[in-house]
Amino acid sequence: MPPETEPRYRQLEKRGEEIYDELSESGGTGLLSEIKECFTEAIAAAEAAGLADEAKRLRARLDHIVTGYRKHFT
């Protein structure tokens, strides 16, 4: 049996989190749009899969990241 592949929304979420870590290390230079793109696509993928709770969780995480960014870098 082949190994189970990770759902697309989780892949996008992980990439968004990796970029967020880079953002934190870089001092806030320019990566917010990439984070938003990853999370927006992850939300859409979760919704397309019928995973409303996951989409809601991802929206909340994106909101948290954006709020933190604005607080610390603007």
Note the pLDDT tens digit of each residue in 8-35: 999 999 999 999 998 877 776 678 999 9
Report the predicted TM-score, pTM, of the whole model to 2 decimal places: 0.86
Neighbouring residues of 54: CB distance < 8 A, sequence distance ≥ 6: 9, 46
CB 58: neighbour CB atoms within 10 A? Answer: 26
When pLDDT is averaged across residues 30-54 and rounded to a whole number, the result is 95
